């Protein structure tokens, strides 16, 4: 590694950590007063531990003085059960513990990904620090969401698959599918690549974790998640910051266009994925990008999941060439630094705000062209 690269890496690390420290000191303390979405996990956990109905409106008027809190526990039973122990702690303590854990996981996975694709340690440290100040990472911490745990699971599966440990990959991805549903597309990728043991292990683990969580929360709660919670997602179709095909079509013209885009685009994505995905990088990169496009809710914080998919693509670029250097910058910015844009005219707002969605398509295509890693 050249001296110039080392100096740039050190500068990126220092600046990123300074920005992240400022973010933690100024932006995070105000959201300890019950802002979405951490109360969904905390109250859901309280209900599980008390043996009450898990899914339903949350009343924060007594705890935080918030009269109109419209969020609700919205995750599968497995996620609710996994995070329930946090509810044994005082709310502020639980919030800080979970946010701290997410920070460690985000930086750790970014570092591990960089090392896995062959980058030197100083570059990997810079990637880890820089990842913490991306829009998806900051939004995840601001909302104190659980995708950091999902990121760890999918990273471990991707790394295991790269190293030939197929069964382990299936196990990690099976747990991820039980926690958030849409990573199940990765299991389909394992089937498409004829990695039968990995796919079988993932399916068994996903089913086992789901059944155990249903036993813990009870069938009535599991049924409520399917019949009550899932249909409520339609209220967020068309929302800026939701980068799914359904959301894009709904924002452009209405739910009818969203469902048409999902029907046509979703089928096309899955067919191409099954046809082309063979290497570990292709199975993960194309699978996670297609999953984020197909799932009806694909929030900004979900984009933290793309780092194991995007890093191999960037690692294969020749950054000494101007064109490839600009492409790497644009690609990383679209996925990592973009946010919702609101302009006086609705159409430009939609077209500009959904740039991360376009980048997901780019990630899908480039991942399928990825060679088998050494």
DSSP assignment string, 266-320: HHHHHHHHHHH--SHHHHHHHHHHHHHHHSS--BGGGGGGGHHHHHHHHHTS-TT
From residue 32, how far is each of 64, 86, 91, 95, 99 by CA, in Å? 10, 15, 8, 7, 11
> Are the C-beta atoms of residues 282 and 276 closer than 8 Å to each other?
yes
∠ CA 338-343-331, rounded to 5°: 20
**Cα 46 to Cα 50: distance, rounded to the nearest angstrom:** 6
Q: Which has the closest alpha carbon to 13: 128, 151, 112?
A: 128
**Cα 349 to Cα 252: distance, rounded to the nearest angstrom:** 10
For residue 259 the two structure tokens come to: 């469902």
**Cα 323 to Cα 317: distance, rounded to the nearest angstrom:** 10
For residue 276 the two structure tokens come to: 């082309």
75 φ, ψ to 5°?
Answer: -100, 160
∠ CA 131-307-353, rounded to 5°: 80
> Are the C-beta atoms of residues 49 and 81 closer than 8 Å to each other?
no
Q: Which has the closest alpha carbon to 336: 321, 316, 356?
A: 356
Sign of CA dihedral 113, 118, 124, 130: negative
> Are the C-beta atoms of residues 199 and 287 closer than 8 Å to each other?
no
**Cα 80 to Cα 210: distance, rounded to the nearest angstrom:** 11
**Cα 36 to Cα 173: distance, rounded to the nearest angstrom:** 27
- Asked, as a colleague might, if the bond just before 37 is cis with ω within 30 of 0, I would say yes
pLDDT per residue as tens, the chain (374 positions): 788 889 999 999 999 999 999 999 999 998 888 888 899 999 999 999 999 999 988 888 767 777 667 778 999 999 999 999 999 999 999 999 999 999 999 999 999 999 999 999 999 999 999 999 999 999 999 999 999 999 999 999 999 999 999 999 999 999 999 999 999 999 999 999 999 999 999 999 999 999 999 999 999 999 999 999 999 888 889 888 999 999 999 999 999 999 999 999 999 999 999 999 999 999 999 999 999 999 999 999 999 999 999 999 999 998 889 899 999 999 999 999 998 887 777 889 899 999 999 999 999 999 998 766 65
Sign of CA dihedral 214, 220, 221, 225: positive
């Amino acid at each position: 590694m050249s001296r110039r690269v080392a100096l740039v890496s050190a500068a990126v690390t220092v600046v990123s950590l300074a920005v992240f420290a400022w973010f933690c000191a100024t932006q995070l303390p105000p959201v300890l007063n019950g802002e979405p979405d951490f109360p969904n996990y905390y109250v859901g956990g309280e209900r599980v531990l008390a043996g009450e109905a898990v899914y339903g409106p949350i009343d924060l008027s007594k705890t935080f003085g918030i009269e109109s809190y419209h969020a609700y526990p919205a995750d599968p039973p497995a996620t609710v059960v996994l995070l329930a122990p946090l509810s044994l702690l005082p709310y502020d303590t639980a919030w800080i513990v979970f946010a701290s854990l997410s920070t460690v996981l985000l930086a750790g996975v970014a570092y591990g990904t960089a090392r896995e694709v062959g980058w030197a340690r100083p570059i990997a440290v810079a990637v880890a620090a820089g990842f913490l100040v991306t829009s998806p990472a900051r939004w995840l911490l601001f909302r104190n969401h659980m995708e950091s745990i999902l990121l760890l699971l999918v990273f471990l599966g991707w790394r295991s698959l790269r190293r030939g440990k197929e069964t382990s990959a299936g196990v990690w991805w099976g747990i991820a599918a039980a926690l958030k549903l849409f990573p199940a597309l990765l299991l389909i990728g394992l089937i498409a690549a004829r990695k039968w043991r990995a796919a079988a292990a993932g399916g068994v683990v996903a089913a086992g974790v789901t059944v155990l969580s249903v036993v813990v929360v009870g069938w009535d709660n599991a049924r409520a998640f399917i019949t009550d919670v899932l249909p409520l997602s339609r209220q967020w179709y068309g929302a800026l910051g939701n980068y799914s095909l359904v959301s894009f079509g709904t924002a452009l013209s209405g739910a009818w266009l969203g469902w048409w885009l999902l029907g046509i685009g979703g089928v096309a994505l899955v067919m191409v994925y099954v046809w082309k995905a063979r290497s570990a990088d292709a199975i993960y990169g194309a699978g996670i990008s297609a999953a984020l496009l197909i799932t009806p809710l694909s929030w900004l914080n979900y984009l933290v999941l793309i780092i194991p998919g995007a890093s191999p693509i960037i690692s294969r670029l020749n950054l000494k060439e101007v064109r490839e250097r600009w492409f790497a910058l644009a690609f990383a910015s679209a996925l990592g630094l973009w946010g919702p844009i609101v302009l006086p005219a609705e159409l430009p707002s939609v077209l500009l705000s959904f740039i991360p969605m376009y980048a997901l398509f780019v990630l899908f295509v480039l991942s399928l062209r990825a060679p088998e890693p050494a």
